[in-house]
Amino acid sequence: MTAKPESLANLFDRTFAGMGEAREAFTPQLTPREVGTITSIATGIAKVSGLPGVGFEELVQFPGGLLGVAFNVDEAEIGVVLLGDYWHLQTGDQVTRTGRVMDVIVGDALLGRVIDPLGRPLDGQGPVPASEHRPIERTAPPIMDRAPVTVPLQTGLKVIDALIPVGRGQRELILGDRQTGKTSIAIDTILNQRDKNVVCIYCAIGQRTSAVAKAVATLREKGAMDYTVLVVTEGNDPPGLTYIAPYAATSIAEYFMEHGRDVLIVYDDLTHHARAYRELSLLLRRPPGREAFPGDIFYIHARLLERATHLREELGGGSLTALPIIETEAQNMSAYIPTNLISITDGQIYLSPSLFELGVLPAVDVGKSVSRVGGKAQRAAYRAVAGDLKLAYAQFEELETFARFGARLDEDTRKIIDHGRRIRACLKQAEGAPVSVPAQIAVLLALTADLFAPVALERMAEAEQAVKTAAAMIPADVRARFESADKLSDADRAAILEIARQALVSFQAKPEPEARP
């Protein structure tokens, strides 16, 4: 028998009965959401009321997807630092909490990219794949997680590698007046890390667009973008973006460090960072102190630079080397921000405008520069050839001052001055031309052995180039010892000196013919 089809009326009754049961069993899930209101807007900041549960440094969202960071958390209202274009905001607009702090994209996908502190691409190559996010503010590694700084970070600059060595995990400040070559030293150091398994992060803080474009073009031309990430804020960006830039760049660097990589980060420069923070603090009505900076200006840089370290082997053995840049005014190293950073870092490289005007490039003032890690982060081969160089150079600079008065000099003083002039000539170096370790050691060893003494000063550049070219003939086993902790033996020194001596044969100054009676 065939079953009779169910009547349409019965079908409707059964369907509606089931819907009624489901409706009665449904329990709505209500999610409370705090919504505030903008009470006032100023340059780069906004005052917001109606968010009683907001936390310090929590992200809040404005209309149009604009983000801000809660900086002042008062009982009646909060002061928010805006992280983008805020011209469309108006008093009365709604503000919502996000429940999270500011974070940034990290990962290998960032290598070769130019981004802003929010992770947005600036190089026209499309969005960056977001594999992982990390908060920009992180606690520095505790003291028991750190290892001593013992491995050098070669900058490729003879004057720094020989006299002011920088180690992996060190914080070395670069300071000097404007237009003295601070950025050039940092860029040259990045260029020298090619094929050395070092990841580089270049953080441009409030820089001119032309300066950023020049740095990107140089890195691309020299093939350095393969291992470099650029985090950029420009001069016309809101001060909030400028303020968070170095923290975001450091979180990106820490990702690589915690995966066992050696990382170099350049902050160019922290003068703009301090001024952006001062601007925000004054707009938020925080009490000003010396030079109108807020009372915690030291702390914002200390908590940033303390994140640079060398981790123990149990934690991967990675390192984060920081090269913060600061600009002085009228050679005043004792100003507020420079003295703060000098006290935080492990040494400083001071660039002198006087040397720059004389054409001594890089214009490093060896007397005012220091590395507090020193020879501990220098290879034994370097210590052997550069040990007496700094003292000889310091003696020369002091005696050169007296020689300008036209005083009669004895033979020993004349020799010291003559040797010092050759040291200065050898320490000169063109921009964008890093020197390899074997070439540096060959030149420095020839210098300490007085092989350049017969060479005329005007031919020093040619003579030095000849020695650097001849350094390729140094035996492979000797070159291997340059990169190890082994000291140079007497046989090694003799072999290098013989190669340098042969290279300098054609540069011997010819004796002048005796005058006829």
pLDDT along the chain (517 residues), means of 10: 55 60 68 88 94 92 94 92 93 94 94 95 90 93 95 94 94 96 96 95 95 95 96 94 97 96 96 96 94 95 96 96 96 94 96 93 93 85 81 86 73 88 92 91 91 91 93 88 78 91 81 47
225 and 329 together in one domain: yes
pLDDT for 1 equals: 46
Domain count, the chain: 3
- Is residue 112 located within the same domain as residue 95? no
Residue 451's alpha-carbon distances to 39, 381, 399, 445, 460, in angstroms, are 74, 18, 22, 9, 11
The predicted structure's pLDDT at residue 323: 98
Residues 325 and 401 grouped into a single domain: no
Query: What is the domain range of residue 46?
Result: 35-100
What's the pLDDT score for residue 166? 95
CATH code: domain of residue 80: 2.40.30.20
Is residue 281, in this structure, part of any structural domain at all? yes
Q: What is the DSSP letter of 363?
A: -
516 is catalytic: no
Indicate whether 121 and 250 sit together in one domain. Answer: yes
Same-domain check for residues 93 and 180:
no
Among positive and negative, which fits the CA dihedral 476, 480, 482, 488?
A: negative
Same domain flag for 372 and 404: no
User: Which of 71, 100, 129 is where one domain is finished?
Assistant: 100
Q: What is the pLDDT of residue 490?
A: 86
Dist. CA 253–CA 261, nearest whole Å: 9
Q: How far apart are CA 353 and CA 365, in angstroms?
A: 9
Residues 146 and 53 in one domain: no
Q: Is residue 513 part of a domain?
A: no
Please give the model's pTM, rounded to 2 decimal places.
Answer: 0.90
Same structural domain for residues 55 and 166? Answer: no
Q: How far is CA 230 from CA 205, 226, 302, in A?
A: 11, 11, 22
**Does residue 268 sit in the same domain as residue 153?**
yes
Element (H, E) at 4: none
| Residues 312 and 324 reside in one and the same domain | yes
Q: Do residues 394 and 163 make contact, with C-beta atoms less than 8 angstroms apart?
A: no
- What is the C-alpha separation between 263 and 260, in angstroms, rounded? 9
Q: Looking at 378, 396, 431, which one is the last position of a domain?
A: 378
pLDDT at residue number 305: 97
Of the listed 372, 408, 414, 501, which one is catalytic? 372
Residue that the structure tokens 């607009």 belong to: 93
Last-in-domain residue among 378, 412, 443: 378
pLDDT of residue 479: 86
For residue 517, being part of any structural domain is answered with no
Q: Is residue 516 part of a domain?
A: no
Burial class (CB in 10 A: 0-12, 13-18, 19+), 120: exposed
pLDDT at 389: 86
- Identify whether 14 is part of a domain: no
CATH code of the domain in which 219 resides: 3.40.50.300
Q: Quote the CA–CA distance of 149 and 269 in Å, as a whole number.
A: 24
Q: Is residue 26 part of a domain?
A: no
User: Are residues 367 and 401 located together in one domain of the fold?
Assistant: no
C-alpha distance from residue 235 to each of 232, 242, 485 (Å): 10, 9, 45
Question: Residue 134 has what pLDDT?
Answer: 95
